[in-house]
């Protein structure tokens, strides 16, 4: 990410929480709060209009919930990342948000330093999870029985395309050039693909691409 400030849209229905977050973020050299929304649909509309770098998204929202709002924003705005900021840290809340395309998940009650670190991380295409959330995701993966995880079903069409290109040996700059995306956006997709497939290296991604029929074993 360049030294320019990260442009942030805040989607939160509780006024006192929203005002508190605004007070924390306003006036900083590294973050620019470009807009606020009080419900999921307003958040979607604001994201479409403002095209922020990061949407800080609550989950329990009126009109359109945070998971669906995240799904729509990620489908329409590839360069916009979503950081979930929620009071709920259970697997039933965390996993749908990740499947919808959230790059990070932070629990309310975290400190300002964690919030800023999370915003900067997801803005550069990296994942960021509160320690409690990271443990839930890891534990859920360990508990899953063979075949329980429908490998590949959680990938978006764009993620499947990038997975195929990675498996073909293409670098992130090459993929970015061919798909007319930024390298940062491609790296963000790669990070989410690896998280969804529980792969830690390119060899693991290649195996998944073969199983999904995206590339041939030979």
DSSP 119-185: HHHHHTT--EE-HHHHHHHHHHHHHPPTTTS-TTTT--HHHHHHHHHHHTT--HHHHHHHHT--HHH
Angle (deg, nearest 10), helices 157-167 and 172-179: 130
Domain extent listing, the chain: 6-142, 157-210
Full-prediction pTM beyond 0.75? Answer: no
**Fold topology of 157-210:** Arc Repressor Mutant, subunit A (1.10.10)
Tokens of residue 167, six digits = 């498996």
Mean pLDDT, range 166-189, rounded to an integer: 89
The pLDDT tens digits of the residues spanning 35-47 come to 999 999 999 999 9
Position 142 pLDDT exceeds 50: no
| Of residues 182, 206, 185, 183, the one with CA closest to residue 194 | 206
Least confident of 111-120, 127-136, 142-151, 172-181: 142-151
Task: Give ∠ CA 90-194-142 in degrees, rounded to 5.
Answer: 45
CATH number assigned to the domain covering 6-142: 3.40.50.2300
What pLDDT does 27 receive?
83
The count of residues in the chain is 218
Position 124 pLDDT exceeds 80: yes
Is residue 167 very low, low, confident or very high in pLDDT (cuts 50, 70, 90)?
confident
């Amino acid at each position: 990410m360049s030294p320019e400030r990260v442009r942030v849209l805040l989607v939160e229905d509780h006024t006192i929480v929203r005002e508190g977050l605004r007070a924390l973020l306003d006036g900083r050299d590294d973050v620019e709060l470009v807009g606020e929304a009080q419900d999921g649909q307003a958040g979607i509309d604001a994201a479409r209009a403002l095209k922020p770098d990061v949407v800080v998204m609550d989950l329990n929202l009126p009109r359109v919930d945070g998971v669906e709002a995240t799904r729509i924003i990620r489908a329409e705005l590839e360069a916009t990342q979503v950081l979930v900021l929620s009071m709920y840290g259970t697997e039933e809340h965390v996993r749908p948000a990740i499947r919808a395309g959230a790059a990070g998940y932070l629990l309310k009650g975290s400190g300002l330093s964690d919030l800023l670190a999370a915003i900067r991380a997801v803005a550069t295409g990296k994942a960021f999870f509160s320690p409690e959330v990271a443990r839930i995701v890891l534990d859920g993966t360990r508990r899953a029985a063979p075949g329980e995880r429908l490998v590949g079903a959680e990938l978006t069409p764009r993620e499947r395309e990038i997975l195929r290109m990675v498996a073909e040996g293409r670098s992130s700059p090459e993929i970015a050039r061919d798909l007319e995306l930024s390298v940062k956006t491609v790296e963000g997709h790669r990070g989410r693909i690896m998280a969804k497939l529980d792969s830690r290296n390119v060899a693991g991604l290649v195996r998944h691409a073969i199983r999904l029929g995206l590339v041939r074993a030979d």
